[in-house]
């Protein structure tokens, strides 16, 4: 089993319900155990900012699924929950990002792990620090808490 961290976000419709359904779907993946879920956080949009606020969370799982199979399963969950990919960083019913897959570094056309923007995003690091504050980020050997201390977190509100 590999320890994995996933980021979840929604900014369309019943955001909490979409996240709850995504978490249930992750819990039901084959060869996967849900270990923890952060609180939900309301956050402003990142990248393309002229859209509704998001609700974000982070999940920790143990899985025997290989990274690309896990990505495929996450994308299937997104699709089942109505995700349509029309524009980069656009609104979405649910988004599931693979943040960390054990201590592996993956760089392929469809998957980059650690997630390339995770250390720049308070909406990822705040919930991640809630469930794994002492987790070491493999590229910098810093803890999540240490990485978070470099970011402005005013726009990340626990709900």
pLDDT at 130 exceeding the cut of 60: yes
| Active-site residue, selected from the candidate residues 62, 83, 107, 150 | 83
CA 136 to chain centre: 17
SS (H, E, C) the chain: CEEEEEEEEECCCCHHHHHHHHHHHHHCCCCEEEEEECCCEEECCCCCCCCCCEEEEEEEEEECCCHHHHHHHHHHHHHHCCCCCCCCCCCCCCEEEEEEECCCCEECCCCEECCCCHHHCHHHHHHHHHHCCCCEECCCCEEHHHHHCCCCCCCEEEC
Tens of pLDDT, residues 10-33: 999 999 999 999 999 999 999 999
Report pLDDT for 49: 62
Report pLDDT for 6: 98
Q: Which CATH superfamily is domain 2-158 in?
A: 7,8-Dihydro-6-hydroxymethylpterin-pyrophosphokinase HPPK (3.30.70.560)
Tens of pLDDT, residues 68-95: 999 999 999 999 997 776 665 567 899 9
Per-residue pLDDT band for 138 (boundaries 50, 70, 90) equals: confident
14 is catalytic: no
| 102 contacts 2 by C-beta, under 8 angstroms | yes
80 is catalytic: no
110 is catalytic: no
| Active-site residue, selected from the candidate residues 92, 121, 154, 155 | 92
The domain locations on the chain are 2-158
Report pLDDT for 87: 60
Burial letters 76-112, b for 16+ CB under 10 A, else e: ebbeebebeeeeeeebbbbbbbbbbbeeeeeeeeeee
Per-residue pLDDT band for 123 (boundaries 50, 70, 90) equals: very high
pTM of the predicted protein model: 0.93
| Active-site residue, selected from the candidate residues 53, 85, 97, 150 | 97
85 is catalytic: no
Per-residue pLDDT, averaged over 35-47, amounts to: 91
Report pLDDT for 61: 98
| Active-site residue, selected from the candidate residues 95, 121, 134, 154 | 95
């Amino acid at each position: 089993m590999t320890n994995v961290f996933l980021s979840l976000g929604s900014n369309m419709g019943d955001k909490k319900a979409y996240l709850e359904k995504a978490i249930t779907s992750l819990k039901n993946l084959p060869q996967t155990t849900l270990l923890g879920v952060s609180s939900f956080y309301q956050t402003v949009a990142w990248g393309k900012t002229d859209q509704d606020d998001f609700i974000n969370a982070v999940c920790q799982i143990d899985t025997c699924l290989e990274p690309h199979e896990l990505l495929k399963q996450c994308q299937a969950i997104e699709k089942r929950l109505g995700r349509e990919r029309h524009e980069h960083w656009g609104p979405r019913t649910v988004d599931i990002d693979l943040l960390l897959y054990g201590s592996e570094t993956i760089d392929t056309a469809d998957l980059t792990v650690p997630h390339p923007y995770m250390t720049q995003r308070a909406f990822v690091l705040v919930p991640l620090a809630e469930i794994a504050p002492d987790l070491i980020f493999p590229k910098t050997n810093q803890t999540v808490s240490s990485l978070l201390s470099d970011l402005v977190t005013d726009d990340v509100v626990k709900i």
